[in-house]
Structure 1
Amino acid sequence: MKKIRIPLAFITVCTLITLAISTLSFTTWFGLDTYEIYLNNQSVFRQAINQPVNLRVLQLDKAAATDQLQVLYRHCRKDNGPGTGRSIALKDETGSTLRKWDFADPTGTNPKMTIAMRDLLQIAGKNTGHRLSLYYTAHELEKEEMLSMLRFK
């Protein structure tokens, strides 16, 4: 019977490749668009674009009409910065746009897009029973991106 000898260098390389692949499977990819949603300057939702849509639910049952919802979207193509020609649309489950907010290109240290909760609550009140979602568009995106489904109860 002939013995098979596997060189130590080959075993080491295979181990390192396996370790690298398993480590990368638990981290977000470099160059991935990310966004964060704030309620009154407190982060309530953070998401990377590669996450499943069913995890993108923002619970707003405790939000008051005087509150402000802010979105900070970071594009991978612009040094992880904000986009240009930005807008956020509120749509129902059929894809009908209920309201659209356009935002100026960021010029300072605060690239957040701010929406008054009073507006969201008013639209939600008129559309009881409908599933509402926020969509983001910018010149840097090929198509609109669904940010989050909204729950008010």
Structure 2
Amino acid sequence: MNKVLLSVHVLAAIIFVGPVTVAASMFPPIARRSLTAGTESAGVAGTGDVGVLRVLHRISRGYAIGGLTVPVFGLAVGAGLGVLGDYWLIISMVLTLAAAGVLAFVVLPGQSRVLAAATGSQEQRAGSLPQAKALSMTTGIFALLWAVVVVLMIVRPGSTTGA
């Protein structure tokens, strides 16, 4: 049963966490380009960029919800293996919670605000540019947290597998 749970856990991480990380990371540069588009090009390039931003935001939201399966199955695997008390797993769970918090409370709301401004006036777009720039940093933090979790899952300090 642990092999099935582990397989679902790893597949969910690949299917959900990877795409949400990529979509969230692609959003800020496109948002900056859309927000800085001149009024004469906003009707052509800006509209296309806004469409892309909508899709990236929808992917980020949808895959974030699907990504909730990753820690659920991870806890099931950890319980089945009897390693829930191991410090590397506790650190991974804390980092996973931090990554989820960054995504849910910083990245997704920031994307929503930037997306709303991208369809507004030139002043609204210009006023939202600092937030779009800040999204680059927060999505980088989100990706870095997941990278550390992946390393901890592979290395597993104290593991007897020799990894």
**TM-score scaled by length of structure 2:** 0.26
Hey, which of these two has a bigger chunk of helix by percent?
2
- Relative contact order (C-alpha < 8 Å, sep 6+): which is higher? 2
**TM-score scaled by length of structure 1:** 0.27
